Amino acid sequence: MHFASTVLMIRPTSFGFNIETSMDNVFQKQNHRLSNQQIQLQAEKESSLLRKKLIDNNINVIYAYENCESATPDALFPNNWFSTHDNGTLVLYPMLAANRRKERNASLINYLKNSFQIKETIDLTQSEDENKFLEGTGSLVFDHKNKTCFVSISERTNIELATNINNKLAYQTTILNYTDENNIPVYHTNVCMCIGDGFVIIATDNLNSKSEHTTLFEYFEANNLDPVLLSSKQVHSFCGNALQLQTTNGQPVLAMSNTAFNAFSTEQIKTIEKHSDILHTPIDTIEQIGGGSVRCMLAEIFLKPKNSF
């Protein structure tokens, strides 16, 4: 299975501006017009709307609670602390911000182990003690069909860890150097890249070398991926932070925010729609304050269920 038909979301019950992650996430912006309670209520509303839109498009959604033992403002972004794979592997990842490590939830891990067929758990979290980090499918953009993983170097993305986990998963690793307009490494690869069903959404202005650009486009051509090129402005509108899914009937659906959808050109939308339907929903508060979009809110479940849905 190249794209997931089941995703896990976390109810944002303690959402807010995370000072620890704002040090390198330039997408985060404080909102002084709304109270903390208003921000919280708006995030819950936006999360529920996304959940409903997914269900209405025949995507299975596991809607879980965050770890109640700690205040975790970014808990609604579960894809950074775990990933699942169709060979029965569950991977737990080391995260840079100390308060994000509290998002790892033993009850949720037990739920996955009780509900799905997990053959192996790979726990990388001890690398936090060595100041080595790899933030799940924020750091790793998988092309599951072609067994390749794209990884952009940043403080949150250790290449040694990335290469090691890809070797265990039998994936090739393609290393990139994405930087912003100030030549600062982009904090997560998935801000700049989304692999779709027959297409790829890719930021090219942010690539740091012509050789990387050439390597990517040779790869896209060889694997029949239709490129949708993003400007830096579109990156800041979260156009790269979309996620390709498939319905329970196997039909491709690309999930993104309204912000992203409205920032794509008409021609870009036509290119995407040649390959996949699109669903989009407003998550303005989550994007502005949390600095992440739809892709970050969805952890793909590729594991086989012990019992059918």
Residue with the two structure tokens 């209405």: 56
Rounded CA separation 304/261 (Å): 32
Q: Is there a contact between 177 and 153 (Cβ–Cβ < 8 Å)?
A: yes
Q: What percent of the chain lies above the pLDDT cut of 70? A: 93
Confidence of residue 241 (pLDDT cuts 50, 70, 90): very high
Q: What is the pLDDT of residue 308?
A: 59
**pLDDT of 72 over the 90 cut:** no
Q: Which domains occur in the chain, in start order? A: 6-300 (3.75.10.10)
Positive/negative CA dihedral, 194, 199, 200, 201: negative
How are beta strands 193-195 and 199-203 bridged, if at all? antiparallel
Taking CA atoms, 110 is separated from 116, 265, 271, in Å, by 10, 43, 41
pLDDT value of residue 215 = 92
pLDDT bin (cut points 50, 70, 90) of residue 26 is: low
In whole angstroms, give the CA distance from residue 134 to residue 28: 20
Question: What is the rounded average pLDDT of the residues 164-188?
Answer: 91
pLDDT score at 79: 96
User: In the predicted model, what is the mean pLDDT of residues 215-242?
Assistant: 95
Across 34-47, average pLDDT: 87
Res. 24 pLDDT band, cuts 50 70 90? low
Say what the pLDDT of residue 234 is. Answer: 95
User: What are the tens digits of pLDDT across the range 181-213?
Assistant: 788 888 899 999 999 999 999 998 878 788 888
